[in-house]
């Protein structure tokens, strides 16, 4: 079945271009990595770095911390676990820095300083960086690398003694206990359970029982009864701190393990490899290995001697040391728990990554959502503001109309007052009794319009009408100017609202390192260009309608400012023409037609017609006057622009809504909808 699954996996990866991921925690990390580092999310360097760290962490061996008080034999115990006398020991608390012991193909020592710098040194110089008798304030921690099989699966952490003279030592130790997979509390068998130790355990190990082992060292110095009594006491009184209590002899374990065949063979091999590397540098002929023949023969003899060696005593000593129980605890208790804990921790971190990215995208989404809300909520306010412009100036327009009507009345009055009478006559051929024809003259009183007097009264001798007209046009101009300002005021309602929205978001930044720099940069750019992206279409709309308003006013103004004299003369001509037609009809048939003087109302009608007063009325006071038309046009165009802008911002918002949805799907291990 497994073989078939591998065939299917290989087929999909090769022919379907599908990248498949196994069911391990590394496979889950790689799967999430592929999804979250997709270009559509514009991933940050921080997110990429975090995934690299998670992948490395998923393959790291479990970490076991060795903790204890000063002179409890921690270094000797670690040397026993490593089967080599590597760490320095002594009566002074020599471990002044945290020592990480990791696997490598060769022995080496890395010193990491507080400024982040690393230095590599020979393993033999380790005491220079661990002994508290030397000042090592600049050193942060030390990593010891060794080519030992046990380190492929376990990384040990040698901590400063909890009762050492340095307060910083104990603080460092306390800080790392939370993160390690297992804790081995090492204490001397004759010191176990004392009050000073009880206080230390309460302070440091109270919350770590499930991963803690108590190791009682130096069992070789006491008889079995004493060992049994102490173990029982610790199990009874310190059960809240440890899963198990194991007595050992670190010295016996070290003495036995360093002499075991596999350890001796491995040491000989490493020594031979080192010698070969150093000697080969002196020879240029890579095909000739004769230069190393003698050293290799010595190595071969050593291996034979090791294999033939009787190590039964070492095995017995190893058994007596009881170190195997510690190794069993690490393998059977800490390892399964560490694996589960690591997987849980990494899975939770993958969930947290999704949550962080979702939250960061939600903060970006809020930028667009709040803008959409502003555009929607301000719509009714802007429409009311447009209507208020009409209502505000309706009375002023009526007053302008009355001023224009007064001007027309002045023209009418001047014409009416200057309709004069004069003696006129007409001749008519009449037949007498004897069929003789004679021309007879008839005298009558005719009517005429004194145009010169009217023009003099209105314009030449008196400039009152000019003043009336200029006053009316100036007032109308003030209405037009104020209406334009009021339209700008309507625009400012939306402009100020958007500027208030813009201010807090113009410098919007991500809250977490793993969030996308580019997403936030793009959002800042969008916000900073709020005028170009959002406000400009509204501004153009207002400016266009102000221009429309001004053009209408210019037409109205021109009709009066530049032609009212000609229009007055036209009115005079039309009235005179009407009188002349009436006179002609009268002279033809005085019995049928009569003569009459134009009434004030008749003159008014002609004057209004000459002045196109129906247009003046429609322009100023009708229900659809020029200001009403301008405002209605502005409202229609505003609704159209606002709808377009809402759709535009909504389209931006939907991009982030989709990304948030995809992130939630990734968090829940759902396939993307795309």
CB 182 within 8 A of CB 214: no
C-alpha span between 35 and 521 (Å, rounded): 22
What pLDDT does 647 receive? 97
What pLDDT does 663 receive? 96
C-alpha span between 216 and 231 (Å, rounded): 8
Token digits for 374?
Answer: 């502003």
What pLDDT does 493 receive? 95
Which tens digits make up the pLDDT trace of 206-257?
Answer: 788 888 999 999 988 899 899 999 999 989 888 888 989 999 988 888 877 6
292-296, 419-423, 601-605: lowest mean pLDDT where? 292-296
What pLDDT does 30 receive? 93
Highest-pLDDT range among 45-49, 165-169, 390-394: 45-49
CB contact burial 141-156 (16+ within 10 A = b; e otherwise): bbbbbbbbebbeebbb
Distance between start and end Cα atoms, the chain: 32
Neighbours of 620 (CB within 10 A): 24
Element (H, E) at 437: strand 437-449
448: left (phi over 0), alpha (psi -120 to 50) or beta: beta
Which tens digits make up the pLDDT trace of 339-395?
Answer: 888 888 899 999 999 999 999 999 999 999 999 999 999 999 999 999 999 999 988
pTM value is: 0.68
Token digits for 661?
Answer: 């949805």
How large a percentage of the chain has pLDDT more than 90?
33
CB 151 within 8 A of CB 144: no
C-alpha span between 302 and 268 (Å, rounded): 8
Which tens digits make up the pLDDT trace of 315-330?
Answer: 788 788 888 888 888 8
What pLDDT does 91 receive? 40
Which domains are assigned to the chain? 2-55 (no CATH), 62-248 (3.40.50.300), 348-667 (no CATH)
Nearest Cα neighbor of 138 from 93, 168, 173, 159 is 168
Burial (0-12, 13-18, 19+ Cβ within 10 Å), 606: buried
CA angle, 19 as apex, 14 and 23 as ends, to 5°? 120
Q: What is the mean pLDDT of the chain?
A: 83
What pLDDT does 87 receive? 74
What pLDDT does 55 receive? 92
What pLDDT does 165 receive? 47
Angle between helices 464-505 and 517-528 (to 10 degrees): 170
Which tens digits make up the pLDDT trace of 500-535?
Answer: 999 999 999 999 999 999 999 999 999 999 999 999
501: left (phi over 0), alpha (psi -120 to 50) or beta: alpha
């Amino acid at each position: 079945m497994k073989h078939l699954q591998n065939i299917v996996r290989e087929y999909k990866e090769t022919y379907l271009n599908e990248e498949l991921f196994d069911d391990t925690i590394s496979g889950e990390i790689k799967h999430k990595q592929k999804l979250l580092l997709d270009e559509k999310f514009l991933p940050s360097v921080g997110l990429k770095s975090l995934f690299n760290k998670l992948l490395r962490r998923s393959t790291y061996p479990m970490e076991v911390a060795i903790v204890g008080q000063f002179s409890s034999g921690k270094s000797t115990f670690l040397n026993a676990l490593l089967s080599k006398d590597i760490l320095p020991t002594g009566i002074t608390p020599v471990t002044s820095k945290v020592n990480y012991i990791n696997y490598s193909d060769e022995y080496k020592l890395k010193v990491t300083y507080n400024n982040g710098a690393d230095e590599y040194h020979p393993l033999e110089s380790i005491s220079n960086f661990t002994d508290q008798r030397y000042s090592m304030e600049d050193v942060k921690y030390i990593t010891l690398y060794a080519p030992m099989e046990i380190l492929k699966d376990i990384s040990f952490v040698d901590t400063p003694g909890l009762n050492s003279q340095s307060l910083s030592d104990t603080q460092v130790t306390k800080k790392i206990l939370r993160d390690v997979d297992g804790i081995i509390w090492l204490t001397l068998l004759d010191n176990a359970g004392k009050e000073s130790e009880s206080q230390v355990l309460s302070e440091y190990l109270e919350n770590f029982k499930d991963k803690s082992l108590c190791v009682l060292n130096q069992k070789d110095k006491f008889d079995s009864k004493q060992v049994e009594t102490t173990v029982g006491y610790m199990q009874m009184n310190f059960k809240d701190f440890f899963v198990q209590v194991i007595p050992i002899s670190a010295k016996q374990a070290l003495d036995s393990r360093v002499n075991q065949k596999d350890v001796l063979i491995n040491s000989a091999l490493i020594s031979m490899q080192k010698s070969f590397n150093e000697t080969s540098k002196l020879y240029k002929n890579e095909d000739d290995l004769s230069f190393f023949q003698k050293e290799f023969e010595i190595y071969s003899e050593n291996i034979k001697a090791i294999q033939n060696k009787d190590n039964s005593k070492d095995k017995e000593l190893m058994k007596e040391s009881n170190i195997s129980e510690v190794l069993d605890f690490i393998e059977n208790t800490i390892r399964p728990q560490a694996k589960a804990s690591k997987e849980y921790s990494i899975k939770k971190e993958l969930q947290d990554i999704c949550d962080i990215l979702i939250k960061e995208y939600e903060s970006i989404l809020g930028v667009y959502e709040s803008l959409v809300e502003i555009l929607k909520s301000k719509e009714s306010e802007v429409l009311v503001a447009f209507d208020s412009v009409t209502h505000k100036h309706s009375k002023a327009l009526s007053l302008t109309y009355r001023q224009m009507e007064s001007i027309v009345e002045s023209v009418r009055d001047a014409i009416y007052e200057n309709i004069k009478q004069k003696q006129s006559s007409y001749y008519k051929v009449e037949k007498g009794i004897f069929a003789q024809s004679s021309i007879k003259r008839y005298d009558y009183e005719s009517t005429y319009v004194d145009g010169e007097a009217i023009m003099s009264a209105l314009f030449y001798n008196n400039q009152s009408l000019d003043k009336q007209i200029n006053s009316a046009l100036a007032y109308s101009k003030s209405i037009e100017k104020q209406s334009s300002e009021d339209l700008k005021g309507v625009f400012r309602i939306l402009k100020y609202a958007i500027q208030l929205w813009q201010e807090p978001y113009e410098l919007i930044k991500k809250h977490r390192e793993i969030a996308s720099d580019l997403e936030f940069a793009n959002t800042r750019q969008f916000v900073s260009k709020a005028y170009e992206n959002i406000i400009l279409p509204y501004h153009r709309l207002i400016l266009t309608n102000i221009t429309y308003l001004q053009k209408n006013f210019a037409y109205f103004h021109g009709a009066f400012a530049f032609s009212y004299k000609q229009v007055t003369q036209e009115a005079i001509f039309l009235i005179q023409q009407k009188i002349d037609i009436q006179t002609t009809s009268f002279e033809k048939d005085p019995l049928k037609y009569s003569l009459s003087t134009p009434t004030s109302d008749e003159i008014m009608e002609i004057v209004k017609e000459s002045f196109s007063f129906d247009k003046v009325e429609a322009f100023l006071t009708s229900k659809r006057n020029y200001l009403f038309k301008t405002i209605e046009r502005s409202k229609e165009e505003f609704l159209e622009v606002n709808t377009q802008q809402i759709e535009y911002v909504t389209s931006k918002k939907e991009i982030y809504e989709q990304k948030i949805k995809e992130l939630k799907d990734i968090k829940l291990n759902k396939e993307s909808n795309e």
